[in-house]
A = this chain, B = another copy of it.
Amino acid sequence: MTKSEKFDSSFRVLAIVSKAMSHPARITILKYLAEVKTCISGDISKEIPLSRTTVLQHLKELKKVGLIHGEVEGSKVNYCLCQKSIKKYKGLFAEFLGSLDVEVVCKNESNC
């Protein structure tokens, strides 16, 4: 259904990244990773009010778009922010939202 090769490729990328950030748990995880400034164990269900499996699921979503990456170390997996993609996505969002910042002329001038 959402077989959207119908849409512009760069728009699809933007949509995919947005989707990765479209859940408060995932935003919380990203922020947490930035705050502790280190890699965390995959089991951060103590920090997030969700079960371990659900948190794992969210970590997988973030990993899928490259916002984080995980390194296996013995019996645990350390997840870290991926600075490279974060910078890239920051640029993408700034560019896109910036491109929306234009003077719009409407008949009815009650702009919002």
Q: Are B85 and A94 in contact (CB under 8 A)?
A: no
Q: How far is the CA of A86 from the CA of B54 in the complex (A)?
A: 32
Q: Are A97 and B103 in contact (CB under 8 A)?
A: no
Interface residues on A, range: 35 or more
Q: How far is the CA of A81 from the CA of B94 in the complex (A)?
A: 17
Q: Are B83 and A101 in contact (CB under 8 A)?
A: yes
A94 contact set on B, CB distance < 8 A? 90, 93-94
> Chain A 63-85 against B: per-residue CB contact (8 Å), 1 yes, 0 no?
00010010101000010111111
A34 contact set on B, CB distance < 8 A? 99-102, 104
Question: Chain A interface (Cβ within 8 Å of chain B)?
Answer: 2, 4, 6-8, 11-12, 14-16, 18-28, 30-31, 33-34, 37-39, 49-50, 66, 69, 71, 73, 78, 80-87, 89-90, 93-94, 96-108, 110-112
Q: 9 other contacts beyond A6-B24, A39-B106, A82-B111, with CB at 8 A cut-off? A: A4-B25, A11-B31, A22-B22, A71-B107, A80-B106, A81-B104, A86-B100, A89-B97, A90-B94
